[in-house]
Amino acid sequence: MGRDRIMEKIYDTPAPTPNNFIGYFYENDSLLNVHNEVIFSLLGRYNCFAGCQICYTQKHFKQALPKFKQFIPTKITKEQEEQWFYIFDHFATISNIDDLFWMKHEHPHLYDWYQKHSHRFTWGSMTDNNFIRTQPLF
């Protein structure tokens, strides 16, 4: 049995051939992450309020802050939830990037929504400072 056949048997996926590199890449390799994870935020724009002193985007957040309120939803409709949950079903992992500490203290209605649906999310996309602030909430 040749190397290609062994790889096919082991991985249950055809190995790339000189005539099918693009097809192999598209179907089996780098695009797998496209359906693996989606990063979600309740906000219409991402902003971090952890106050890290080394954040390279800190000045951009400060500039955007006066207009940031327009990106904070006042309520979450059932239709929005249904649309989000439908999209979530197409991904293995739903990551969250929102600053939960800030949400709990400034926008409790959003924090409550995350608490209610926390079983849907992973909480790995945060800075060390945000983790220290947020850890007591977990």
End-to-end CA distance of the chain: 52
Locate 33 and state its tokens: 């992450």
Single pTM value for the model: 0.62
Segment 93-121, tens digit of pLDDT = 888 878 888 889 989 999 999 999 999 98
pLDDT band at 7 (very low <50, low <70, confident <90, very high): very low
Distance CA 34, CA 37 (A): 7
DSSP one-letter string for 10-66: HHSSPPP-TT-HHHHHHHHSGGGGGGTEEEE-SSSS----S--SS-TTHHHHHHHGG
Give the model confidence (pLDDT) of 39-98 as tens digits: 888 887 666 666 666 666 667 666 766 777 778 889 999 999 999 999 888 888 888 878
**Taking the domains of the chain in order of start, what are their residue ranges?**
1-35, 36-137
